[in-house]
Every structure is written in structure tokens, then in C-alpha cells.
Amino acid sequence: MVDTREKILMTALQLFAKDGYEAVSVRTIAEELDMTKGALYRHYKNKRDIFDCIVERMIQIDAQRAREYHMPDEAYDTKPDVYENTTLQSIQKYTVEQFRFWTEDEFASYFRKMLTLEQYRNKEMAELYSQCIVEGPVAYMEDLFRELIQKEVLKEENPRQLAVEYFAPLFLLISMYDKSGEGEDYATILSNHVKHFTENHVKDSGEEQE
């Protein structure tokens, strides 16, 4: 059974994703839940408290998923050894699963849509959008590719350029999914992209290429 605090969190996130964070009030959230503002305030101090809990939840989910797929769950400067030991196979699998996560997981999908909607209205939201959806993932892949180049798994190329080339189709296919609502064909396209990217940039035909 979902507890009240969790119901408030998910309802608020859905409203933020639909109407935008700034447009949704505590009263709106309470009315959607058929409860009073006073009852809501027993669980969260204010709207900002709800938002901060949403962001914290997303950070926790993201880190947990990274660990599940044997991927780094912190920045390179914090855990460089994890980046050094990440395999190309793990990156490939994680990439396709990230598409499914950002499109099919209810919490992740609402979170992404909230940031997409608010990035043009709020500087903080724009920074969070970049960190979570655009620049952050590119920088993450850049660190991973740099390590694979140093290990001679990938050819000697600009890791930043590789990261942009690798990540761009994922970003595009998520946007296409939002329009059509049909994800499996796009997941297949992404999987093929990952395979072709590997074939074009891997240095040899050893185990990492399989």
C-alpha cells in the first residue's frame, strides 16, 4: 500500500510534468489528492521541500541503476577506478536500458518532462536539465571513452567528440518516443546504433567488441 507521503510526491511530480513547477501550488497538489493543505504540510514543509525530495529520489535511483549495470555511480574525480574498470559491454547494455528507463519508468519519465518543460522558465531547472539529460551524460560518456582509449579498447580519437556522437541518437530517440509513444522500435534503432558505433571505433576484434 502506497503511503501518503509517497502519494503526495508522485502526484506533485505528475502535476509538475504536466503544468510546470512554477504553475502548480501546494493547494493544487492538495486538491488533486482530495486533502487539505494542512494535512499535506504534515508530510512536507512546502512545495520546495517536495521538489527537493523528487530530485533526491532521482539521484538515488540513477546511482542504483548505474551499480546494477556495473557502471560508475559517482563523478570521475570521486571514483576514477570505477571508470577505469568499466567495460564496453556494460556501456552498450546500459545505454539501451537508459532509453527504456527514461521513457517507460513512470518516475523518470515525469521527472524528465518536468525539467524539459521548465528549462526555459527557470535557470535552476535549466541547469538541472543539462546536468541530468544533456551535458551531464555527455561528460559521463567522455570520461568513460577516455579510459577505454587509454586501455586501447577504442581507437585514438577525441573522447568528447565520441561522447557527443554516441549520445546524440539516444537523446533524439527519446524525443521521438515522446511524440509517438512507441518505444520498442526506437530501442532497436538505438541498439543498432550502439553496435555500429562499436564496430567503427573499437581498436581490435577482441572480446570487448562482442
Tens of each residue's pLDDT in the chain, 210 residues? 469 999 999 999 999 999 999 999 999 999 999 999 999 999 999 999 999 999 999 999 999 999 999 999 999 999 999 999 999 999 999 999 999 999 999 999 999 999 999 999 889 999 999 999 999 999 999 999 999 999 999 999 999 999 999 999 999 999 999 888 665 689 999 999 999 998 899 986 544 444
CA distance 54 to 8: 11
Pair 183, 108: CB distance under 8 Å: no
Q: How far apart are CA 145 and CA 151, in angstroms?
A: 10
Ramachandran bin of 151, using left for φ above 0, alpha for ψ from -120 to 50, beta for the remaining angles: alpha
Q: What angle do CA 182, 186, 190 make, to 5 degrees?
A: 160
Q: What is the pTM of this model?
A: 0.89
